Chains A and B, each alone.
Chain A
Amino acid sequence: MIMPSSSVEKRTADVIIIGGGVMGCGAAYQLSKEGLSVIVLEKGELCAGGSGRNAGGVRQSARDVREIPLAVHAVQNIWPSLGEELGVDVEYVQKGNLRLGRTEAHLEKLRGLVDKNIEAGLCLRMATGAEAREICPYMSEEVIGASWCPTDGYANPFKTAFGYYQRALDHGAVFITGVTVTGLGKVRGKIRRVSTDEGTFEGESVVLAAGYYSRAIAETVGIEIPVEREDEEVFVTERLPPMFDQVLGTAEADFYGHRTKHGSFLLGGVSGLQHFTSNHEGHPTEAYTAPSLVRAIIGFFPAFANVKIIRSWSGHFDTCVDGVPVISAVDEAPGLTIACAFSGHGFGISPAVSIAIKELVMDGKSHTIDVSGLRYDRFTGSAD
């Protein structure tokens, strides 16, 4: 039974985690499993920010080399058995990722991505239009080539986040929702204090995993994270009979998506205008986004023409200036670990990130997975 209460009694723990998304829940799980006491603070409801507005791609391909160790570790070592570990069906399906091109320029771009990824040790290749259609026969002749990473896939972000949440509860973690963090503070040389609209919390360590809102919180202790919001929309189709299981993307990012275990397709993207017109508040969808996505999708997949859309939603990425996250302990503010700015591709690596956070909190460094390229101070010059 959960304990509905407006009187918050527990205010100290080994670790205070800010953010109740998949990152915060994952970190809570890993840390509480190690026997640490954990309090998670979330301003809204659980799994409602980026984790709750998420298409669920689990992709290694087309990532920056600095992220690839996380992606590869997650896909090779965690995702296949995560459902078993958490005791929930995370709906992980590993049937590959096709990134589609319809012009020679697209193919050029895709080849560049493939080459870089191969260099980073990833197994993927270019496929011709015909090969791509053999993998996914629903594609139109518009597709003249694609990158193909057979080990990519997708999972259910809600099930994953809630799975971490449930098991973290089992290990004694306490989650408090409806609490907005207003700032961090140092106590005797370490970041320990977390101020909120519901009073102060204190931990031996603090993990900041609050998506875009991490920026303002980090600023209260003089740490700048160059991140901004970028709105994205996803829509959901009616439940369909099995068609194909590959995760789709395009060289031009016209749309992305896949079929879920439930049978509906999740299809997402942007119109291009949104970034300059949205005030990012309240998650409104735009009148022109879904039609522009739909036109692109029908061009690539004519069979979708008669499929019904039943819902759409909007959310924002926490996009970093260089497109990769910050996953880092903060040297100048000991006790603080930051995991944010995932730039729209955090979910797939979240199981690996949770391990990196645990190690950063407990040992000051991530030894299982190399996250050295994701330091908080990489933006302004030498970290050394």
Chain B
Amino acid sequence: MKRYEMIVIGAGPAGLSAACAAAEAGMEVVVFDENAKPGGQLFKQIHKFFGSREHQARIRGVKIGENLLADAKKLGAKVVLGATVLGIYKNKEVSVRLEGEVRNYKADSLIIATGAAENMVRFDGWTKPGVMGAGAAQTLMNLHGIRPGKKILMVGSGNVGLVVAFQLLQAGCEVTAIVEAAPRVGGYGVHAAKVARTGVPLYTSHTITRALGADTVTGAVIAEVDGSFAPKPGTEKTLDVDTVCIAVGLSPMSQLADNAGCEMVYDGAKGGYVPVLDEDGETSLKGVYCAGDVCGIEEASTAMIQGKIAAAKAACELGYMSEGAFAQKAKGYRESLKKIRAGMFGPANKGRADIVATDEGYPLSQSLLKNGFIAERETADFPTFTYGGGTRVVIECTQNIPCDPCQDACPKGCIRVGADIALLPTLDASRACTGCGLCVGACSGQAIFLINDTLEDGHGTVGLPYEFLPLPQKGTSGKALDRSGRELCDAVVVDVRNSKAMDKTPMLVMKVPKIELGRARFFKVLEAATSGAEEGSVL
């Protein structure tokens, strides 16, 4: 039987990273993936990643996927698609359904990187067509170019719910509301803020109780919940939606590890049953490793590092890397893991509702946690919201998230994060902002705004990240919206910057009365400019 030095199951971020690392070390590697397209979730992830440069921060998931695939090819790791692994048997034998038959291969080392699947919640009508996972909606949009519906209710405000809600808006859907059963928004505040300022209401302590409709979804009922997540009678609201997206977390797809005979353990914080692993990702079975979400739900950035550690260990075991070289590599990877796991959303703080202040000691914005946007009165708590006397950036980054592209982006060194990338960025007032807007395009959280208060007619400008099509042209008039998405005043686009370095996060510069500079954070094109011809192309 053909035996590979390494078989990787799953061509997502963990699997591809493992394959590249193993191939680079000199191993003969094959990656099997059941999907027609590689990359796992990466190719659906059109948003920019967080982290530091080593974590490929500021690069969109889809691009990271392309890079990994190109690397795999260059390094000689074979990636076989449409190849469904059906079972793992003793002696690391793997059954693969491929091209209408089942083929068996053996491996000296095996990396299980099968990722995760979406969780479901039960409510009246949860099995109706029109109720789908947020990830499924993302697949429809970003892989197949199909809008999942016209009017969407998003259930869940973790990063998946928030990111997909934003992508639904980008695809031209209406997101009627986001509901979150917990009293706090689950995902990054910056993700919530970029959705909220477009006008999407975010209801914390709310849940869906019913999907209406005979055959498909024609509406949804939401209700406020009490402390034990039970709906409060009399708080029901009916929403006019045709699609309900569920984003209530993921469960590791650990069946293959279980099937292989790996020791399993239930870990609620990791999302369910996961294989028991040592610090290199090796399971209870010698030479069988796991990496990525199958070991416990985390971010793609983490998965990539886990894949590299497991591959390095396998390479070391098979004589492709000295013990010393492995120890050194593993040390670097673990440091990188530690960096990306830092902050209030890291695994150590997951689910904690008792964090009230940032590491710097600033009180967390309660409005951001409850409503998805920072209340104006809270902006005074943070030093990066001040402007005046010329062109200045306002950084609306108020939670400890491991991320630092802003400091790399500023050519003048005005923005500083430091070695602990979970700390909030600071502004160096002694350095002059040239107003280039590169930081606006670089911030993965779309939380940086460029304010100029020097216009003479009682107006100023707000430069804001704007990832929607069609991109308004200079001279387009519309409304300025505040952080909650409420219409503030008339606004007109006076500049659009869209350099290559901004990587498709253009900066729209809108002119608003000076008095609104601290509030105006989004630009809404007037209805007349968008409706009409485009409507016909929906669905």
C-alpha gap A287/B104 in the complex (Å): 8
Residues A285 and B261 in contact, CB atoms below 8 Å apart: no
CB interface residues, B 69-119, toward A, < 8 Å = 87, 89-90, 93, 95, 102, 104
C-alpha gap A287/B102 in the complex (Å): 10
Residues B102 and A284 in contact, CB atoms below 8 Å apart: no
* Candidates A282, A284, A287; contact of B95 at CB < 8 Å: A287
Q: In chain A, what residue has the closest Cβ to B90?
A: A284
Size of B's binding interface in residues, CB under 8 A:
8
C-alpha gap A205/B89 in the complex (Å): 43
Binary B-proximity of A167-196 (CB < 8 A = 1, otherwise 0): 000000000000000000000000000000
Q: In chain B, what residue has the closest Cβ to A283?
A: B261
User: What are the residues of chain B within 8 A of A291 when measuring CB–CB?
Assistant: 102
C-alpha gap A284/B95 in the complex (Å): 14
User: What are the residues of chain B within 8 A of A285 when measuring CB–CB?
Assistant: 87, 89
CB interface residues, B 245-282, toward A, < 8 Å = 261
A64 at the interface (CB under 8 A from B): no
A115 at the interface (CB under 8 A from B): no
A286 at the interface (CB under 8 A from B): yes
CB interface residues, B 165-181, toward A, < 8 Å = none
User: What are the residues of chain B within 8 A of A284 when measuring CB–CB?
Assistant: 89-90, 261
Q: In chain A, what residue has the closest Cβ to B89?
A: A287
Binary A-proximity of B405-419 (CB < 8 A = 1, otherwise 0): 000000000000000
Q: Which of A282, A284, A286, A291 has the most CB of B within 10 A?
A: A284
Residues B93 and A287 in contact, CB atoms below 8 Å apart: yes
Residues B87 and A287 in contact, CB atoms below 8 Å apart: yes
Q: What's the least CB distance linking B105 to chain A, in Å?
A: 10
Q: What's the least CB distance linking B32 to chain A, in Å?
A: 15
User: What are the residues of chain A within 8 A of B93 when measuring CB–CB?
Assistant: 287
* Candidates A282, A286, A287; contact of B261 at CB < 8 Å: A282
Q: What's the least CB distance linking B26 to chain A, in Å?
A: 28
C-alpha gap A291/B95 in the complex (Å): 11
C-alpha gap A284/B90 in the complex (Å): 8
Residues B102 and A286 in contact, CB atoms below 8 Å apart: no
Q: What's the least CB distance linking B473 to chain A, in Å?
A: 55
C-alpha gap A291/B101 in the complex (Å): 11
Binary B-proximity of A274-303 (CB < 8 A = 1, otherwise 0): 000000001011110001000000000000
C-alpha gap A284/B88 in the complex (Å): 10
Q: In chain B, what residue has the closest Cβ to A277?
A: B90
User: What are the residues of chain B within 8 A of A287 when measuring CB–CB?
Assistant: 87, 89, 93, 95, 104
C-alpha gap A45/B245 in the complex (Å): 38
C-alpha gap A228/B474 in the complex (Å): 84
C-alpha gap A285/B93 in the complex (Å): 12
Binary A-proximity of B197-208 (CB < 8 A = 1, otherwise 0): 000000000000
Q: What's the least CB distance linking A88 to chain B, in Å?
A: 27
User: What are the residues of chain A within 8 A of B95 when measuring CB–CB?
Assistant: 287
Q: What's the least CB distance linking A238 to chain B, in Å?
A: 15
CB interface residues, A 323-345, toward B, < 8 Å = none
C-alpha gap A285/B89 in the complex (Å): 7
C-alpha gap A285/B90 in the complex (Å): 9
Q: In chain B, what residue has the closest Cβ to A279?
A: B90
Q: In chain A, what residue has the closest Cβ to B102?
A: A291
Q: What's the least CB distance linking A110 to chain B, in Å?
A: 33
Q: In chain B, what residue has the closest Cβ to A287?
A: B89
CB interface residues, A 243-297, toward B, < 8 Å = 282, 284-287, 291
C-alpha gap A284/B258 in the complex (Å): 10
Q: Which of B90, B93, B104 has the most CB of A within 10 A?
A: B90
User: What are the residues of chain A within 8 A of B104 when measuring CB–CB?
Assistant: 287
Q: What's the least CB distance linking B325 to chain A, in Å?
A: 35
C-alpha gap A287/B89 in the complex (Å): 6
User: What are the residues of chain A within 8 A of B102 when measuring CB–CB?
Assistant: 291
C-alpha gap A285/B95 in the complex (Å): 12
Q: In chain B, what residue has the closest Cβ to A309?
A: B86
User: What are the residues of chain B within 8 A of A286 when measuring CB–CB?
Assistant: 89-90
C-alpha gap A284/B104 in the complex (Å): 16
Q: In chain B, what residue has the closest Cβ to A289?
A: B89
Q: What's the least CB distance linking A281 to chain B, in Å?
A: 9
Q: What's the least CB distance linking A287 to chain B, in Å?
A: 4
Q: Which of A284, A285, A287 has the most CB of B within 10 A?
A: A287
C-alpha gap A291/B102 in the complex (Å): 9
Q: What's the least CB distance linking A349 to chain B, in Å?
A: 33
C-alpha gap A275/B93 in the complex (Å): 19
Q: In chain A, what residue has the closest Cβ to B95?
A: A287
C-alpha gap A362/B521 in the complex (Å): 85
C-alpha gap A291/B87 in the complex (Å): 13
Q: What's the least CB distance linking A200 to chain B, in Å?
A: 31
C-alpha gap A282/B90 in the complex (Å): 11
C-alpha gap A325/B75 in the complex (Å): 60
Q: What's the least CB distance linking B34 to chain A, in Å?
A: 15
C-alpha gap A291/B96 in the complex (Å): 13
Q: What's the least CB distance linking A288 to chain B, in Å?
A: 8
C-alpha gap A287/B94 in the complex (Å): 8
Q: What's the least CB distance linking B194 to chain A, in Å?
A: 42
Q: What's the least CB distance linking A12 to chain B, in Å?
A: 35
C-alpha gap A42/B290 in the complex (Å): 34
C-alpha gap A287/B95 in the complex (Å): 7
User: What are the residues of chain A within 8 A of B87 when measuring CB–CB?
Assistant: 285, 287
C-alpha gap A284/B91 in the complex (Å): 12
C-alpha gap A284/B261 in the complex (Å): 8
C-alpha gap A284/B102 in the complex (Å): 19
Binary A-proximity of B330-344 (CB < 8 A = 1, otherwise 0): 000000000000000
CB interface residues, B 322-359, toward A, < 8 Å = none
Q: What's the least CB distance linking B257 to chain A, in Å?
A: 13
C-alpha gap A285/B261 in the complex (Å): 10
C-alpha gap A282/B261 in the complex (Å): 8
User: What are the residues of chain B within 8 A of A282 when measuring CB–CB?
Assistant: 261
Q: What's the least CB distance linking B104 to chain A, in Å?
A: 6
C-alpha gap A282/B95 in the complex (Å): 19
Q: What's the least CB distance linking B44 to chain A, in Å?
A: 27
C-alpha gap A285/B104 in the complex (Å): 14
User: What are the residues of chain A within 8 A of B90 when measuring CB–CB?
Assistant: 284, 286
C-alpha gap A161/B199 in the complex (Å): 58
C-alpha gap A287/B106 in the complex (Å): 11
C-alpha gap A31/B102 in the complex (Å): 50
In the assembled complex, 14 residue pairs joining A and B whose CB atoms fall closer than 8 Å, in A order, are A282-B261, A284-B89, A284-B90, A284-B261, A285-B87, A285-B89, A286-B89, A286-B90, A287-B87, A287-B89, A287-B93, A287-B95, A287-B104, A291-B102
A286-B90, A287-B95, A287-B104 given; 10 more Cβ-contact pairs under 8 Å:
A282-B261, A284-B89, A284-B90, A284-B261, A285-B87, A285-B89, A286-B89, A287-B87, A287-B89, A287-B93
Closest 5 CB pairs of A and B: A287-B89, A287-B93, A287-B104, A287-B95, A282-B261
Q: Give B contacts to A, CB under 8 Å.
A: 87, 89-90, 93, 95, 102, 104, 261
Q: Give A contacts to B, CB under 8 Å.
A: 282, 284-287, 291
